[in-house]
Amino acid sequence: MLKQNKVELYWLILSCCSLVILIIVGGLTRLTDSGLSITNWQIFSGIIPPLSNNEWIKYFNLYKQIPEFKQLNFDMSLGQFKIIFWWEYAHRILARLTVVIFFIPFIILLIKKKINKKKILLSFIVSTLFFIQGFFGWYMVKSGLINNVDVSHFRLSLHLITALIIYSLIFWLLLNCENDLIKFRFNLVNYGLIILLFMSYVQIIFGAFVSGLDAGLIYQTWPLMNENFIAEEIQIKFIASYSSLSEHAYVQFYHRMLAYFLILIFLYIYIKNINLKALNILYLNIILIAIIFQVILGILTLVSGLNIILASLHQIGSILLISSILLALYKLNVKIN
C-alpha cells in the first residue's frame, strides 16, 4: 500500500472508532437520563469542567431551574448531579474531539493534495454534517429545558440518525481507501441491499422514538404485547397517523413490525442470491449474523426491563448492522471497478 493510502487509512480508522465511541457514550447519556445536566452550550469555555465547589454549585443551580429537576429529580444531591454531569460532559468533549480527529487531518491532506479528488466532495459533506450535528445536539437539548422533562423524541432521532449517516459515510470512505469510490452494478442484490440499508435507518429512527418516549417500559413481553400480537389500545384507523408517533404503544409496535419487515427483506435477498460464489455469500452471512445478534439483543433489552448494558449493546448492534450492509455493498461491487 502506498504511504499516502496508509495515512488516509489510519485517519479514517481513527475517525470511525472515535465516532463509534461517541455514539455509544451518547446512548449511555440518554439511558442514564444525563443529557439535560448541562443547560448551556459553550463551544470553547465548555471544554473546562467545574474545578471548584462553587463552580459545581453554579452548574447544579442551573440544572435546578429546568422541569426535569423540578418534577423528577427534586431530591437529587450534588453528588448525584455530578454523576449525570460527567456523562453529558464526556459526550460533548468526545464530540469536539471526533470533529478534530476528522477535520484537521482532512484539511492537511487536502492542502498537500494527498486525498483522492473523487473523495474530496464526500469528505466535505462529512465535515459539514459534523457541524450541523453540533447544532442538532443543542436543538435536541433545548427541547427539554423549558416545558418538558425529556428532550423531544423527534429531535433525539434526528441527532442519532445524523450521527449514523456520518459514520456510514466515513466507513464508506474507509472501505474505498485503496481505490476510487466504486460504482454500483444495477442488479437485484444491490437494489435489495440499498433498500435494506434504508430500512435499517428507518428502524433506527423508530428505535430512537422508543428510547425518547421510554416506550420500552410498557409491553415488556415477546412475541406478544402482553397477551396480544397487537396491543389492545392500538386502533387500526390510527396506525401510520402522525399523532401515533408520540404514543408509546404505537411506537413500540412500529419498532417491532419494522424488525420483522427487515428480516423478510433480508431473507428475500438471501434466497434470491443463494447461488452467489462462496466468497460473496460470506458477506450476506455477515449481515445475517448482525441481524440475528440485533434481534436477540432487542428482545433481551425489552424483557429485561430496559437493562442499560443490554440497551447499549442493542445500539452497538445497529452500528454493526449498518457496517455489515455497507461492507457487502462494497465487496460485491469492488471487483468490477
Q: Which of 170-179, 252-261, 315-324 has the lowest mean pLDDT?
A: 170-179
Q: Taking residues 105-122, what's their average pLDDT? A: 90
Q: What is the pLDDT of residue 279?
A: 72
Higher pLDDT, 244 or 182: 244
What is the mean pLDDT of the segment spanning 98-104? 97
The reported pLDDT for the residue numbered 1 is: 44
Model confidence, pTM: 0.94
Handedness of CA 257, 294, 291, 320 (dihedral sign): positive
Q: By C-alpha distance, which of 209, 200, 18, 177 is closest to 109?
A: 177
**Do the beta carbons of residue 324 and residue 188 sit within 8 Å?**
no
- For residue 117, the model assigns a pLDDT of 80
Q: How does the average pLDDT of the chain come out, rounded?
A: 93
Confidence of residue 337 (pLDDT cuts 50, 70, 90): very low
* Torsional sign, CA 193, 194, 200, 202: negative
Report which of residues 248 and 185 the model is more confident about. Answer: 248
How large is the average pLDDT for residues 27-42? 93
289 pLDDT higher than 50 = yes
Q: What pLDDT score was predicted for residue 105?
A: 95
Amino acid at 53: N
Average pLDDT score over residue span 134-160: 94
Percent of the chain with pLDDT over 90: 82
Average pLDDT over residues 90-105: 96
Mean pLDDT of 5-17: 93
Q: Is the pLDDT of residue 4 over 70?
A: no
